[in-house]
Amino acid sequence: MDFDIFSNTDMLLDTLKKSNSITLKHHGDKITLERAIFLSWWCDKGDCNFCYLASKRHKIKDSTIARRRLSSILAEAEILNRIGWRVEFLSTGYGSHKINELHEIAQMVSHVTRKGIWLNVGVLTEKQLGLFNNEIEGIVASIETLDPNIRDRICPNKTIEDSIQSLNTGYKLGLKKAATIVLGLGEGPIQIENLLEFIQNMELDRITVYSLNPQKGTPFSNTPQPASLYQAGVIALIRINFPKLEIIGGTWIDQLPNIGPIILAGATAITKYPLFSMFGNRYGLKVEEEIKYANRTLLGTFSDIEILKGEKKLHKSKNPQYHSRESQLMIPDKIIEKVQDMSDDIDDKIEGYVTTVLKRRKKFIHDSQESHHCLN
């Protein structure tokens, strides 16, 4: 594998052009927005020293206190439905829930979204995975990095071998396989080559490529985020080697200009945004603009307040549900009844989320008007 693209501008541009053509051929021009739904802020391990959960671990004494309410989780899932976003996966730290609790939550979220969801909750055994039905589509392994020296330093109690075993166990049970990696942890070209080999050997269906988001209270708090063209270059190499792979690009509110390059590189979905801080204001509009100028068609919306409020529905041409096969789910009646029993609480939570968005948007508009007034 030739990694000169990271030191040769012409080669990088040619690689991006090639990866863009491959993406359009195999995936078309549609881009989806995705969001991980977090179930808890607890993790028994709490030693992944780049992770937000690790920075909070010492402040939390009781795992149950760190859990989100079911009504809040389901309200978020319903809002994603409204605005045409997809659930990237359900995520939580080790030891936050018992397996039967995770099973029930997965069934509820799947019922709300009318689609099987992905699960990223750590290493699961065959017995644990055997509890699930088609409410989950696949298993996600948080690989982070394939450099053993970096792994020993940043997440000493999470082994790649355990993740591989969990993915293979899920595959035997008919589940798809996915992984997440984080760029900017100190990896070099050899680790990118190892990543390509890992994707091939594991026959992954999907991968999320995040850029490091330095967290306060971690050793990476003063580490610069990886360059946008570095992330784009890695994604392009993945796309060229795996034309049919689903690639999700993960970026942050302070890295929105990354979106165009990583889409051209081969990402077919974008993730990792603080939804309720960005929707309907200049940040959400910036995401939509980046997608537009990458000559892609956005499914869903990051700006339509009427859709967010439920006053109108997404046109089916913009709704991801109409661009993918809806799952024939087998959700037990007792789970459906539990969701229905929570409907008032879910509606209250939805209203609260919408109110938060409207307040933030109003402040942006007010600040803009004040600035304009000062200029005049």
Contact 210, 250 (CB under 8 A): yes
* E strand or H helix that includes residue 49: none
User: How far apart are the C-alpha atoms of 205 and 242, rounded to whole Å?
Assistant: 10
Angle between helix axes 99-113 and 70-83 (nearest 10 degrees) is 30
CA dist., res. 27 & res. 167, Å (int): 25
Element (H, E) at 71: helix 70-83
Q: Which residue has the higher pLDDT, 191 or 221?
A: 191
Q: Name the nearest CA neighbour of 259 among 223, 233, 294, 208.
A: 294
The DSSP output letter for 3 is: -
Strands 246-250 and 206-211: parallel
d(CA 248, CA 368): 33
Mean pLDDT of 339-348: 97
Residues 72-95 have pLDDT tens digits of 999 999 999 999 999 999 998 776
The whole-chain average pLDDT of the chain stands at: 89
The span from the CA of 154 to the CA of 84, in Å, is: 35
Confidence of residue 224 (pLDDT cuts 50, 70, 90): confident
The pLDDT score that the predictor gives to residue 368 is: 63
If one counts every other C-beta atom within 10 angstroms of the C-beta of residue 278, the result is 21
Query: pLDDT, tens digit, for every residue of 51-74?
Result: 555 555 556 666 667 789 999 999
Statement: residue 355 has pLDDT above 80: yes
Query: Burial of 115 by CB count in 10 Å (0-12 exposed, 13-18 middle, 19+ buried)?
Result: buried
Domains held by the chain: number:
1
Task: Copy the structure tokens of residue 21.
Answer: 């053509």
Split at pLDDT 50, 70, 90, the class of 47 is low
Higher pLDDT among residues 227 and 151, named by residue: 227
Phi, psi of 144 (to 5 degrees): 70, -65
Q: Per-residue confidence at 50, pLDDT binned at 50, 70, 90?
A: low
State the pLDDT at residue 374. Answer: 54
Which position has the higher pLDDT, 153 or 259? 259
Statement: residue 376 has pLDDT above 60: no
Rounded Cα gap, residues 262 and 265, in angstroms: 5
In terms of Cα–Cα distance, which of 263, 286, 260, 264 is closest to 273? 286
- Across residues 233-249, what is the average pLDDT? 97
Range of the domain at 109: 4-375
Q: Which of 98, 93, 143, 140 is nearest to 120 (CA)?
A: 140
247 - beta bridge partners?
A: 207
Dihedral pair phi/psi, residue 206, rounded to 5°: -155, 150
The mean pLDDT of 25-31, rounded to a whole number, is 97
Cα–Cα nearest to 241, from 192, 308, 307: 192
375 Cα distance to chain centroid: 40
pLDDT of residue 351: 97
CATH number for the domain spanning 144: value is 3.20.20.70
Q: What is the pLDDT of residue 305?
A: 97
Predicted model pTM: 0.91
pLDDT band at 188 (very low <50, low <70, confident <90, very high): confident
Share of the chain above pLDDT 70, in %: 88
- DSSP secondary structure of 292-340: HHTT-EE-S-SS-HHHHTTSS---GGG-GGGGSPPP-----HHHHHHHH
Q: What is the pLDDT of residues 154-174, one digit of tens each?
A: 777 778 898 999 999 999 999
**What confidence tens digit (pLDDT) does each residue in 99-114 have?**
999 999 999 999 999 9
